[in-house]
Structures are given as C-alpha cells and as structure tokens.
Amino acid sequence: MKTADSGNQPDLLHAALDTTVAPGDDFFSYANGTWLKQHPIPASESNWGIGKEVQNEVYARLRQTSIEAAGANATGGSNQQKIGDFWAVGLDSVKADKLGATPLKAELDRIAAMKTVAEVPGVIAHEIPLGVNALIGPVVYQDAKNSDQMALYLNQAGLGLPNRDYYFNTDSRTKNIRREYLRHVANTFKLLGQDSTTAKANAGRVMALETTLAKSSRKLEALRDPYANYHKMSIAQLNKLTPGLDWKTWLGQMGLTTVDTVIVGQPEFYQTAGQLLKTAPLADWQAYLTWQLVREYAPTLSRGLVDENFHFYGTVLRGAKSIRPRWKRVLDMQENALGEALGQLFVKEYFKPEAKARYDTLVKNVVSAFAEHIQQVDWMSAPTKIVALDKLHRITPKVGYPNKWKDYSALTIDRSSLAANVMRAKQWQYRYELNKLGKPVDRTEWGMTPQTYNAYYNPSNNEIVLPAAAFAIPGLLDADADDALVYGYAGASTIGHELTHGFDDEGSQFDAHGNLHEWWSKADRQRFNQRVNGIVKQFNGYTLLDSLHINGKATAGENIADLGGIVIGLDAFKKTKQYKEGKKINGLTPTQRYFLGYALGWQNHTRDESLAAQLLTDVHSPAQYRVNGPMADVPAFYEAFGIKPGQKLYRPDSTRVVIW
C-alpha cells in the first residue's frame, strides 16, 4: 500500500493543520483550522464540512447518471426510465411555476370539503400515506421486545417546528423563531389564495393546535428511554386511551386492516390528540391539515412556495443565505424516492471490490480490539462480560451496499409533475412498510443507501450498517490513504463508534437477539451509569453561543460512542504495520496521524442559527466537541501531543471518563 508521502499525493492531514493553535487547547481547531479557513460556508448552506464535500462528489456522479437516464430511450418501467423522468420533470421549473399548487388540488379540495369534525380522522388517514405530518405518527418497525416480529408503533408527531422546545423556550432566539413561524404559515396561506385577514387567522389556528400537541410531546432526552417509550396495547385498550375514537375503523382507513395490537410510544400525546379530535373546531383542523400538506410539498411546487418554505426552514431556522441549486434539491428528492435504484449504479462505478475488502477487514480488526476492551474493563462483572462478548460477536456488519436491492416496479414515475412523482413515491414507500406487517423480519434490508455519508447501529437487528460513501475521503483515492488516517477516520469515528452503540446507555438495554431485555447485573448497570453520569456532566459543562449548553443527557449515547470508538480504533491500529514501524509522515507520528484522522471525520463548521437548532433537536454534540470532548478523556492523546496541566483540554486523571 502507498502511504501519503509516496508519490505526489497531497497529505490531507498535514495540509488541514492550523499550527497557531496548541493541540492541548483546542485539538479540533489545530487539526482542521486551515481547512476550515480555506472552505467558508457557501451561502446556500447552513454548515460546511467533509460530509458536504463527499456529498458534492456523490452529487456530481448522480447528476451524470440522471442526465444520461433522461436522454436515454429507456424501457418503460425500468429503473433508468424512472430516474430519467424524475430528473427531467424535476428540473423543469417553468412547468412547476405554471402548475402552481394544482398538483395538490385534489388533496386541498378534500380538506376544504369536510362538513363536520367527524370527517377529520378519515382525511388524516388519507394524508398519512402521502408523508404528511398530520397529527399522528404510525410507523412499522421491529417489536423492541420481540425482534422477530414487525409491529405498528404510534409515536408523537404533528408539529411544524422541529420539536416541543420551540413552542415553549423563552430565550429571545426561540421567541423570534415563533414569530417568524406564524408569519411564514400566514404567507403560505396567502400564496394559496387566502386574503390577508383569513391567512393570519388560520396561522393562529395552526399555532394554537400545534402548541397543544407540543405540550403533550416528550423532550429529546426523554425519547431515549426505550422502556418508557414502549406501551403495547390492544385496539380495545387504545380506544380506552382515546375515548370516542374508533381505532379499528381509523387504522382500516390507513390500510392497516389486520392490526390487532399497537405499541404506543407516548400515551399522553395520544390522549391529547384524541381530545383535540373531539374539541377543536372544524376550521382549526382545515387550517392545520392544509398547512401540513402544503408544508410537506412546498419544495416541489412553484417558485413562490419554494422560496417561502426555504426562507423559514432554510434561513430562519438554519441560517442559509440562499437556496441551493435546483438540481441538488431534485437529487435529494430523487434519493428519497429511488435511492436504491441510484445506489446500484453508484456502487458499480465507485466502490470497487478492493475497497470493500479493505473495510471488511477493518471491521474485523475493530471488533477484535473491542473484544479485548470488554475483557479488560474493571467495572463489568465476569458473567456480564461473557454475555457482552456474545452480543459483540453476533453483531452483523453490513459493509458498502446491500446484497439484494429494492424492487421499484410498482412505482409509477412520469413527466407530469415533480409533486406527483414525490407523492407516488411516498405512497409506494408507505405500502412497502405496511407490507412488512405479519411477515418474517427481513434482516438483509438496509435503512440507508450506499451513497449516504452516514452509518448506524440498529439494536433490533444487532447490526452495524456502513454505506460505501461513509468511507469516502474527498480528493483522496482510498488506495492512497495510509492506515493511520483510515483507522482514525473510519475505524474510530464510524466502525468503532457504531459498534459501541450496542453497549451505550440505550443500546445496552437490547440483547444479542435485538430484544429489549436487561442482560446486565444490577451492580454492573449501576457502575456503568456512574461512568455515563461522568460524561453527561462533562458535556453539560460546554457552553456555546454565549449561553447555550450541550444537553449532556440527550447526547450521552453519541458521546459514549465517540469516546469508545477512539480508544478501540487505536488498539486496532496498533496491530498494523504502519504503527509498528513508527515512521513519521510530514513530521507526524502514526499515533498523531490516527488522532488527526479521527478529527478529519468532524471537519465541519456551522452557522449560529443551525448550531442553536442542533443543540435543541440533535442527539449528537456539535463537531468541535465530538473531537475535543472525548480527546480530553484519552490518555494516549495526552501522550501523543504532550498535553500538560494548564492547557484547556487538560483534565486530571481522576475526572477523565473511562468506559471502554
């Protein structure tokens, strides 16, 4: 294998360094500072970083694929025809402007035609398969306590702002967002042809109804407790929870005719939803359902609606200054509609067998290092260690791309309108999910496409899913990346990170078969929780944007996984030839390059508006703290960069968090 100093390859790690910053004061800025200065956030983005650079490379490839498909004389019903037609009509802004909101006419008429509140559930049942966030949140997923069965979950839903805190927080930033939201809803109604007074009144109705729903919605951290969000009920019990609602009929209207039990995530939310369906006037429901429908489809419609939607969700909430080019927005919609059709073409061209082999081996090496860590930890008892190792060795790694692809033959895509294609795609997706009920669980399925720059651990399948794009390094061929960089970038921040999710504050509550079941002894759980409390306290202590704090409890699982990934990935790297030889590249030791490789994965900067939104809605800490936070707990990092007392990242031995 070539290393970064052989040949003329640029050394990305060395080039990104800002040596005016001491690694012991701010390792994130030391590792990424020069790159960040050279890559300001584009006007159309709310943040910019390595993930966006990878995404840009993916966009360029998928754009070419789509252009070719649109120009080809493709067979009707083939994936190529669908990709080509979706792209062609998606780019036709003249057509979209001419059509205005008419692609939604049948749905808008259905809402307007309601004569009594009794008709509201039927209309909601019609909107749900269209992907509209209409009051309730039905989703098909593995039963957390019986992973061999698919179940219908009912979760809190129905809000137009990102989560409950936006309706109640009293800081000036959030209060301003609420004011802007009211204005945005009213402007949207005006674009649908309502006069100013009516539009304003309807926006008030929407806000009042959503605020009532928000009151009964759980906070971000409360949604992380799998036991507290699991309430299995028969249809009779569900009817009792929401007096006056006939769930058998309602679910039947949603195509869920065979369901006899459901798992309710947040019963208090459904009690409130049930009460509103009895007490809220028809005009409130018409305003609310019109708003939720148009909000969902605005990006597919005419210029005025597109711009109004972007102004609030892009600029006010996220700080983006200008809208992204239409072709990128269309590719995002195409990804949601036909992701695996694009994925097949993507991996054939861009994820070669040698790359797949490298990352298959990397996964094995990181699993083996994790097993050693489990054996060595002092807080876990011997019997629990045996079960933990069994769970680890049963984790299924899915690397690169699925072995079988989704079949889109039942999905019709044509050149009538972008909105119509998105609508049919959402209905197809809804039926695809519904079809899983009562059937054996398909453990081969992927929840992400190969061209996605992300990864996940699924506790119900006890699997880690690592899409091909997650391993991509912008501007560097895989064959030219040295092991130190790859073990830090992919081994620690992706593979090790996802593996430890199986053993974090949430994932550790699921057993090797993916069932919610306590397999730790009480004493083990207590000792583990003490350590988790340490990381919660550490992250609660970080202040951003003057007065905002990281939510240590909500981000605990991700912070545990970051810290675990770093120490486990390092031990896997120590077995490589590069580490053993110890040669420097551009003055950097293999271990230093490993830590810099990890920091490369979080090379990102964010606008203040977006950062504020992230702190309220995301279980991940901001990029800077995904580097500086865990590094401050890793002794090998102190050794590699000579971190001394008095430097900002320095934490005395006694306060450093050790989990794995």
pLDDT at 348: 85
Q: Global pTM?
A: 0.94
For residue 315, what are the contacts with CB-CB under 8 A and spacing of at least 6?
A: 321, 609
Structure-token pair, residue 79: 């994936």
Q: Is the dihedral of CA 273, 278, 280, 284 positive or negative?
A: positive
DSSP label of 260: -
Return d(Cα 16, Cα 475) in angstroms, integer. Answer: 13
pLDDT, residue 613, reads: 96
Per-residue buried b or exposed e for 266-301, using 16+ beta carbons within 10 Å of the residue's own CB:
bbebbebbbbbbeebeeebbbbbbbbbbbbbbbbbb
How many whole angstroms separate alpha carbon 209 and alpha carbon 214? 9
Backbone angles phi, psi at 604, to 5 degrees: -160, 145
pLDDT at 288: 98
pLDDT computed for residue 8 by the predictor: 61
Collapsed DSSP state (helix, strand, coil) of residue 47:
strand
> What phi, psi does 232 have (nearest 5°)?
-80, 135
List, in order, residues 6 or more apart from 464 with CB less than 8 Å away.
363, 395, 396, 397, 398, 455, 456, 457, 458, 495, 498, 499, 501
DSSP assignments along 144-185, one per residue: TTEEEEEEEEEEE---SSSSTHHHH--SHHHHHHHHHHHHHH
Cβ pair 342, 350 in contact under 8 A: no
> What is the chain's Cα-based Rg?
25
Q: How far apart are the C-alpha atoms of 445 and 456, rounded to whole Å?
A: 13
- Tell me which residues of the chain have a pLDDT lower than 70: 1-9
Phi and psi for 419 in degrees, rounded to 5? Answer: -60, -45
The three-state secondary structure class of 81 is: helix
262 SS3 class: strand
- pLDDT value of position 615: 96
For 109, residues 6+ apart whose C-beta sits below 8 A from its C-beta are none
Q: What is the pLDDT of residue 1?
A: 34
H/E/C letters for each residue in 282-343?
HHHHHHHHHHHHHHHHHHHCCHHHHHHHHHHHHHHCCCCCCCCCHHHHHHHHHHHHHHHHHH
Residue 3 confidence (pLDDT) = 38
The full set of domains in the chain, from first to last, is 101-300 (1.10.1380.10), 352-402+446-655 (3.40.390.10)
pLDDT of residue 429: 98
The conformation of residue 432, written as its DSSP 8-state character, comes to H
What are the CA-CA distances from residue 57 to residues 451, 472, 551 (Å)?
Answer: 10, 9, 33
